[in-house]
């Protein structure tokens, strides 16, 4: 078995543990939320990296140490950075890691830029926003807009918000294996 396959096995095992655990403040599981975000990204005909980033965007909530700082029962503080580093260590493509790292900033940007988006956030998302720095300032938003992955970052954030629907049938985790395999380093030294 290649090291990339081993990395994916480790990752899928982690995500699979969250199939019955509630997603923070929502009526679906953490895994279902991730699968729905990926489904909506794919439905939007997104690039494979965007679909995979949508699938993996909350990995930091799942891989963080038990004593990681929390956001008042709303998940792990800085989960975007924790998840991006975890994925990087598993050999996942850097663009996917960058998109995972940016999904909180995407929320902050959209809350600054779009009052309709802000008003439609779930109660849990509004709660985490306070821990994540609140809406961006105009200066932060202008800098964020200049990032070469800006459009993809915004899309990952939007599908994150969409992926909170009860009883939505979506493809399972295993259906993403071959795509993720193409974006995982086969030479990484597996830990």
Do the domain assignments include residue 82?
Answer: yes
pLDDT, one tens digit per residue, over 99-145 is 999 999 999 999 999 999 999 988 888 999 999 999 999 999 999 99
Report yes or no: 112 and 105 within 8 Å, Cβ to Cβ.
no
Among residues 71, 180, 65, 80, which one has the least CA distance to residue 126? 71
Do the domain assignments include residue 170?
Answer: no
Do the domain assignments include residue 50?
Answer: yes
Do the domain assignments include residue 35?
Answer: yes
Do the domain assignments include residue 127?
Answer: yes
CATH code of the domain covering residue 159: 1.10.3210.10
Do the domain assignments include residue 84?
Answer: yes
Among residues 179, 187, 168, which one has the least CA distance to residue 34? 168
Total count of domains within the chain: 1
pLDDT, one tens digit per residue, over 54-76 is 999 999 999 999 899 999 888 99
- Per the structure, the complete domain to which residue 30 belongs is given by 3-165
Do the domain assignments include residue 189?
Answer: no
Do the domain assignments include residue 28?
Answer: yes
- Count other C-beta atoms under 10 Å from residue 189's C-beta: 8
- Banded model confidence at residue 24, pLDDT cuts 50, 70, 90: confident
List of residues 6+ apart from 33 with CB closer than 8 A: 23, 26, 58, 163, 164
């Amino acid at each position: 078995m290649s090291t990339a396959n081993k990395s994916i096995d480790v990752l899928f095992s982690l995500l699979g543990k969250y199939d019955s655990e509630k997603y923070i403040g929502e009526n679906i599981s953490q895994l279902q939320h991730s699968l729905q975000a990926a489904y909506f990204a794919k439905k939007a005909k997104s690039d494979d990296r965007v679909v995979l980033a949508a699938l993996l965007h909350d990995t930091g909530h799942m891989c963080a140490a038990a004593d990681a700082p929390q956001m008042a029962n709303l998940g792990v503080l800085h989960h975007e950075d924790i998840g991006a580093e975890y994925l990087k260590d598993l050999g996942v493509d850097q663009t996917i890691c960058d998109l995972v790292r940016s999904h909180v900033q995407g929320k902050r940007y959209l809350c600054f830029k779009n009052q309709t988006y802000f008003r439609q956030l779930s109660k849990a998302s509004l709660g985490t926003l306070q821990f994540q720095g609140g809406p961006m300032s105009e200066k932060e938003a202008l800098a964020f807009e200049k990032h070469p992955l800006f459009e993809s970052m915004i899309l990952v954030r939007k599908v994150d918000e969409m992926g909170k629907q009860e009883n939505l049938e979506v493809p399972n985790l295993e259906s993403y294996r071959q795509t993720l395999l193409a974006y995982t380093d086969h030479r990484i030294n597996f830990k």
